[in-house]
Chains A and B, each alone.
Chain A
Amino acid sequence: MLDIYRHFRLALLLAVLLLATAPAWGAEREVKRIAMILFRGETPAEKGFRDILAASKDFDVKITVLDANQSKDKLRNIVDTLDLAHFDLFYAFGTMATQMAMEKIKEKPIIFNVVQRPVEAGIIKSWEHSGNNATGASNIVSTESAFKTLALVMSIRKLGFVYYDKDPAPKYQKNDIAKEQKKFGFKLVDIPVRDQQAIPAALIKIVNAKVDAVMFPSDSFIKANADIIMTTLNKHKIPSIVIIPEMVKDNGALLSLGPDYYELGKLAAHNALEVLHGKQPTDVPSKTVSSLRISINLKTADKLGINFPLQLLSLSTIIH
């Protein structure tokens, strides 16, 4: 009898608690519409962005994806035909998409992501205050950390740097790499690529230059042409170091030393939430991921005869 009374008391207590919290559960979340302007489809960055927003208690976020499918013309068309009034916030992936979006969108907030040099690209004035309607997350990583990691695996004396000539962002990365030449004892071999037709000539130049490895910036043009580039490099046993982790899995690059895109997406989402809560984008500092995410393609490593030390394997994402 005493047990039944105890159970009844417990059930009553639970019912009271549930009733007390009922208004919070039942409260309507404010609907916010976000346009996602993408150049090369959704990446783990967008997944991280979506996951954080979906967990928001305050907002019911409806996302519309506008993908340019790696076409600059299509991207221009997407931006030009945007219905600004329909959306509360705009998310842009990459430097080019962000720059185009900023030309068109002046009144609504823009959350940029995977923009390596937002200050140099003129997207924000400073990391603390953008001075405009943009804030977001950058995929910039410490060049020194990248070279320290590389030193664990291989000895590099000649390093090729292949980049899309028309994009200003990789040139900043090239300057950063050039600064590390003396410290890490290598010589930078500059290989700009003007367009898709110039890729075979660039690949011949890499092979003839007898470089010890080739580094690629975080560049959508390189990603779009990664298959042909990586196949040639692997055929000639030239190690490839990339920033975009998917290139290790999808295109057979040896090693990626970049940020975790999922984490980047989460950082951008936190900025988006602050803006949706009413903060001005200029007052929301732009963010970066502080640690490297290392991805290794062991199949490529086997082909190239490169042995990865165990301590590095223990910290890396391994692709078989």
Chain B
Amino acid sequence: MEHFFALATPLEIRMMLRGFIPIVMILIIGIFIGRWDNSKHQQTLNKLTDYIFLPCLAFSAIHKHAFDPVEIFSIGAAVLMIMVGMTVVSFFTLRDKVRGCSGNLLASVYMSSGSLLPPLAFVLFGYEGLAKAIYFHLFVTIFYYTAGRWMVSGRADFKSFFKTPLFHLIILGIAARNFPFSLSDNIQELSWLLEKGIHLTAMGSLPLLIISFGYPLGLLKRSDANGGFVGGALRIVAGPLVALLVVCLYRMTGLTSMERGYDVLGYLDYRTTEALLLLGAAMPSSHRVICLAGDAGKAERGTILVSVTGAVITIPIVLLYILMYIFEE
């Protein structure tokens, strides 16, 4: 245990907790609002998240981030491996059918990458982490509309994915970042003003995303946990373990070089990608998958409750691991 804390300095642990504790507190506020409100504004909150919060955040993060196809590919491939890995593990553990599966299997496979991950990634890994979190969520969304829909109804739904504002704003962000023409001073000032507005909305949406995650949890009861221990544990324990395998695979293949060399920033970028993959895979279940599977049964509700409660412990452990073994050489 002494060794466990020896590598992460007190400062890093303090910085980690400074990021993590406010998020937990906002989450609790979201849960209480949902409980008092009886979660009757869930649909409105979902729409706000899908059409305003996330797209603004995506544009704000991506247009400031250097466009790197290798980075996008490595995150995309990692998400694919994590999701496939989790589907296989959940399929065998929960003994569910893959096609026409229950919401419980989906809840143990899908993480809350669009609500809890971006704020955490931003607070812990800065703008770099936020941009990577957006890419992570993009690929989870692709998986949601394709494999997720196929698992529930037997048909993938690519069309719906291409209609999502998130996808369009990411493309717009990449285009704005790589805009090849010089703008006149006046137009540039105007574009910066517009960008500042989007940035403010994006920053404001970070706590709102956490609240939108906590809001539906207000309806869950302690007794719901009984049926969700296996699914919840799969989500928050098997998830990061599968991601760790992917990180090891990347290191073995040299895709995320371990050489620090002269390019410190390149090294830092690889380590941030690895950290983000581990953090993303450690997120609790997404309540959105329940919408995909129809009404939430006791098992699904239990999986969500157990994964959220357990994540309060498992996420700091994953973060400590990141500090000790990913960022430390």
The answer to the question of B16 belonging to the interface, with a C-beta cut-off of 8 Å to chain A, is: yes
Choose among A151, A152, A290, A309 the residue that contacts B262 (Cβ–Cβ < 8 A).
A290
Q: State the CA gap A309–B15 with chains docked (Å).
A: 9
Contact A314 B127 (CB under 8 A): no
Q: State the CA gap A308–B11 with chains docked (Å).
A: 12
Contact B126 A308 (CB under 8 A): yes
- Chain A, interface size category, equals 20 to 34
Total inter-chain residue pairs, C-beta < 8 Å = 73
Contact A311 B123 (CB under 8 A): no
The answer to the question of A22 belonging to the interface, with a C-beta cut-off of 8 Å to chain B, is: no
B126 — which chain A residues lie within 8 A by C-beta? 152-153, 307-309, 311-312
Complex interface bits, B10-30 against A, C-beta within 8 A gives 1, otherwise 0: 011001101100000000000
Complex interface bits, A127-140 against B, C-beta within 8 A gives 1, otherwise 0: 00000000000000
Main secondary structure of the interface of B (DSSP, over half): helix
Q: How far is the CB of A31 from chain B (nearest CB, A)?
A: 37
The answer to the question of B99 belonging to the interface, with a C-beta cut-off of 8 Å to chain A, is: no
Q: State the CA gap A157–B199 with chains docked (Å).
A: 12
Choose among A148, A185, A187, A318 the residue that contacts B265 (Cβ–Cβ < 8 A).
A148
Contact A151 B123 (CB under 8 A): no
A157 — which chain B residues lie within 8 A by C-beta? 192, 195-196
Q: How far is the CB of B139 from chain A (nearest CB, A)?
A: 21
A225 — which chain B residues lie within 8 A by C-beta? none
B195 — which chain A residues lie within 8 A by C-beta? 157
* Total interface residues in chain B, CB < 8 Å: 32
Given A151-B64, A155-B64, A155-B199: A310 in contact with B124 (beta carbons within 8 A): yes
B182 — which chain A residues lie within 8 A by C-beta? 182
B64 — which chain A residues lie within 8 A by C-beta? 151, 155, 185
Contact B125 A145 (CB under 8 A): no
Complex interface bits, A268-304 against B, C-beta within 8 A gives 1, otherwise 0: 0000000000000000000000111000001000000
Contact A312 B268 (CB under 8 A): yes
The answer to the question of A149 belonging to the interface, with a C-beta cut-off of 8 Å to chain B, is: yes
Which residues of chain B (255-277) have a CB below 8 Å from chain A? 262, 264-265, 268, 271-272, 275
Choose among A292, A310, A318, A320 the residue that contacts B264 (Cβ–Cβ < 8 A).
A292
Q: State the CA gap A315–B125 with chains docked (Å).
A: 13
- Closest Cβ neighbor of B11 among chain A residues: A318
- Closest Cβ neighbor of A149 among chain B residues: B265
B123 — which chain A residues lie within 8 A by C-beta? 307
Given A155-B64, A307-B123, A311-B327: A298 in contact with B11 (beta carbons within 8 A): yes
Contact A315 B11 (CB under 8 A): no
The answer to the question of B2 belonging to the interface, with a C-beta cut-off of 8 Å to chain A, is: no
Q: State the CA gap A255–B131 with chains docked (Å).
A: 23
Q: How far is the CB of B118 from chain A (nearest CB, A)?
A: 14
Q: State the CA gap A145–B267 with chains docked (Å).
A: 12
Q: How far is the CB of A190 from chain B (nearest CB, A)?
A: 15
The answer to the question of B295 belonging to the interface, with a C-beta cut-off of 8 Å to chain A, is: no
Q: State the CA gap A310–B18 with chains docked (Å).
A: 11
Choose among A152, A290, A298 the residue that contacts B128 (Cβ–Cβ < 8 A).
A152
Which residues of chain B (176-227) have a CB below 8 Å from chain A? 182, 188, 192, 195-196, 199
Contact B19 A307 (CB under 8 A): yes
Contact A313 B11 (CB under 8 A): yes
Which residues of chain B (150-189) have a CB below 8 Å from chain A? 182, 188
- Closest Cβ neighbor of B266 among chain A residues: A148
Contact B264 A309 (CB under 8 A): no
Q: State the CA gap A221–B199 with chains docked (Å).
A: 37
Contact A311 B192 (CB under 8 A): no
Given A152-B127, A182-B182: A314 in contact with B327 (beta carbons within 8 A): yes
Contact B323 A310 (CB under 8 A): yes
- Closest Cβ neighbor of A293 among chain B residues: B264
B265 — which chain A residues lie within 8 A by C-beta? 145, 148-149
B323 — which chain A residues lie within 8 A by C-beta? 310, 314
Q: State the CA gap A153–B127 with chains docked (Å).
A: 7
A148 — which chain B residues lie within 8 A by C-beta? 66, 265
Q: How far is the CB of A185 from chain B (nearest CB, A)?
A: 8
Q: How far is the CB of A186 from chain B (nearest CB, A)?
A: 9
B125 — which chain A residues lie within 8 A by C-beta? 309-311
Given A155-B199, A157-B192, A307-B126: A313 in contact with B15 (beta carbons within 8 A): yes
- Closest Cβ neighbor of A158 among chain B residues: B192
Q: How far is the CB of A237 from chain B (nearest CB, A)?
A: 16
- Closest Cβ neighbor of B267 among chain A residues: A315
Q: State the CA gap A291–B124 with chains docked (Å).
A: 24
**Leading 10 A-B pairs by shortest Cβ distance:** A309-B126, A314-B327, A290-B262, A309-B125, A311-B272, A148-B265, A152-B126, A152-B128, A291-B264, A311-B268
Could you list some 22 contacts between A and B, CB below 8 A? A152-B127, A152-B128, A152-B268, A153-B127, A155-B127, A182-B182, A187-B188, A290-B262, A291-B262, A291-B264, A307-B123, A309-B272, A310-B125, A310-B275, A311-B125, A311-B126, A311-B271, A311-B275, A311-B327, A315-B268, A315-B327, A320-B11
